[in-house]
Amino acid sequence: MKKPFHIPLIFALALSLDTLYPQHSWAADNTEVARKTPVTGKVDAIQAELATLRQLAKTDPEKSQAELARVLNNLGVAQGFQRNAARDASISFEEALGLYRKLSEKNPDEYTNKLAITLDHLSSSYLAEGRLKEARTANDEAYRIFSQLANKQPDVYQGALANTLNTKGNLRAGEKLPKETGEAYTEAATIYRQLAQTRPDQYLPYLALQLSSLAGWYHTENRTVEAQATYEESLSIYRQLAKKTPKPFRDFIPDSLINLGKFYLATNRPQLAKPLYEEALLNYRQQAQENPAGNQRHVADTLLILGTICTQVNRKNEAEKYYEEALVTYRNLKDKGDDNYLLYLVNALGNLASLHLTDPNPQVALAYYEDALKIYQQLEKEKNRQPYQAAMATVLNDMGTLYGKSQKLTEARAAFENARNIRRKLVAVNPDVFMPHLVTTLSNLAYLNTLEKNREQARAAYNEIVSILSNVVARSPRYQADIDGAKRALKELE
């Protein structure tokens, strides 16, 4: 099965229309790059500047058009880095685009390139909104303009053309056109590689970013040899850049390490992923010392994944240490009032509980699960989302099993019944996904009732298993074994 391809949100990072190509700003190929790149001007500050310009435009509209368009473009990019603000960004870009069209008609030599930059930004913003048709129209026009400019002045505009090709690749990925995605990324990487040969200081960073996107595409196409080589080349370039210029390139190394580590995990090579995540953790710890607010989350996330990797390679004690530190870090983040960390906190709790599922004393696992359940109940109550309900049911089912092991049968029954009730609702919405989980909980309830000699309730649970699976066994023969097992249990209860 092909893995889902992450469609990055692309905006020019320097946000500058004052500086013309070839010193054009980088195009980020993932949100991690955006995280590390300071936006030139806060949204509020840019909006204040815009308000002043609008007042000036009332008295001298002709003179103010160019400056107004520049600030609107910068505002759109700044809004694009904000959460859930893609629509606001598009509105800003659209207004800037209208102004640049008028300006380029009067003075094409001065403003055509700025028109193309804004089109490229608008294409990315439309992509973030899911407006694929409009995104393609904007990107096609930007590509056409930069192709013409690059033919006339290749030294000046080849980099801009590559940037627009990167946006094209992201758009084709959103349109689920993998062949065209790869072609666009490959062409962009080829241009950046050529430019980097003569201007390495300027274009190696572009090449490293582009290679990361290309490697991701190779991975989705199951071209694992090329994916690995391309991820490794991207990482190698960042190491080379960081040796020469520690800031800012040192900060890109952990993300590149994790890109390669994720690839190894996805290709079932956790032993190769582990040292990469360990090196990334060292880097993130160093960044967190310099900027705790911005990097503690990345420390916690990396700890969590390292715990999972250690579990996969049967290093339980090491996994527990990573999970426990992740838990402490997430709790600190939660205490600072950011509810986004709740999901990560609950993952750490669940993973710690899983490590202790087979302990002779189930109390440690139960304690972690109880904390996790409270968080899921809070999230489900606030957001009423199906994933939280599914997670709650999983925790309740496991808690029921642990209560049963410790002979707390009343608590076990309550947990299983709550899990069953949730899973019944989920099966009504998505039977293919949730039916096996409902069968698991019904089997647990049936077994518990058999232990307690509640024959009627045990029969009811087994009969429900037979009933729900009989409706799907014709198209899913794998369920026949479950039906046969439930029928045997029913016969034993006679």
> In order of start, what are the domains of the chain with their CATH numbers?
1-218 (1.25.40.10)
Measured distance CA(164)–CA(120) in Å, rounded: 6
DSSP β-bridge partners for residue 27: 12
Q: What are phi and psi of 27, to 5 degrees?
A: -105, 120
CB-based contact 8:181 (threshold 8 Å): no
Q: 390-448, pLDDT tens digit by residue?
A: 999 999 999 999 999 889 999 999 999 999 999 999 999 998 889 999 999 999 999 99
CB-based contact 215:259 (threshold 8 Å): yes
pLDDT at position 295 is 83
pLDDT at position 22 is 26
CA distances from 6 to 3, 224, 275 (A): 9, 17, 24
Measured distance CA(139)–CA(132) in Å, rounded: 10
Angle at 347 between CA 375 and CA 354, to 5 degrees: 110
- The CB density around residue 470, as the number of other CB atoms within 10 Å, is 12
List alpha helices for 342-478, DSSP H: 342-355, 363-383, 386-405, 409-429, 431-451, 455-470
pLDDT at position 333 is 82
Closest CA to 114 of 156, 66, 173: 66
pLDDT at position 81 is 83
Q: Please give the chain's pLDDT, 494 residues, in tens.
A: 333 232 222 222 222 332 222 222 222 223 233 333 344 448 889 999 999 989 888 888 777 899 999 999 999 999 988 878 899 999 999 999 999 999 999 999 999 999 999 999 999 999 999 999 999 999 999 999 999 999 999 999 999 999 999 999 999 999 999 999 999 999 999 999 999 999 999 999 999 999 999 999 999 999 999 999 999 999 999 999 999 998 889 999 999 999 999 999 999 999 999 999 999 999 999 999 988 877 888 999 999 999 999 999 999 999 999 999 999 998 888 666 555 678 888 889 999 999 998 888 899 999 999 999 998 888 887 776 778 899 999 999 999 999 998 899 999 999 999 999 999 999 999 988 899 999 999 999 999 999 999 999 999 999 999 999 998 888 888 889 999 999 999 999 88
| Angle separating helix axes 154-174 and 108-129, nearest 10 degrees | 20
- Residue 21, phi-psi category: left (phi > 0), alpha (psi -120 to 50), beta (remainder): beta
| Angle separating helix axes 61-80 and 108-129, nearest 10 degrees | 30
pLDDT at position 340 is 67
Q: 40-59, pLDDT tens digit by residue?
A: 448 889 999 999 989 888 88
CB-based contact 252:283 (threshold 8 Å): no
The rounded radius of gyration (Å) of the Cα atoms in the chain is: 28
pLDDT at position 123 is 96
Measured distance CA(414)–CA(409) in Å, rounded: 9
CB-based contact 459:488 (threshold 8 Å): no
Cα first-last separation, the chain: 45
DSSP β-bridge partners for residue 12: 27
Residue with tokens 């308000």: 51
Output the six-digit token pair for 345: 């906190």
CA distances from 314 to 145, 322, 398, 424 (A): 56, 14, 21, 35
pLDDT at position 384 is 65
27 DSSP 8-state letter: B
Reduce the DSSP state of residue 185 to 3 states and report it: helix
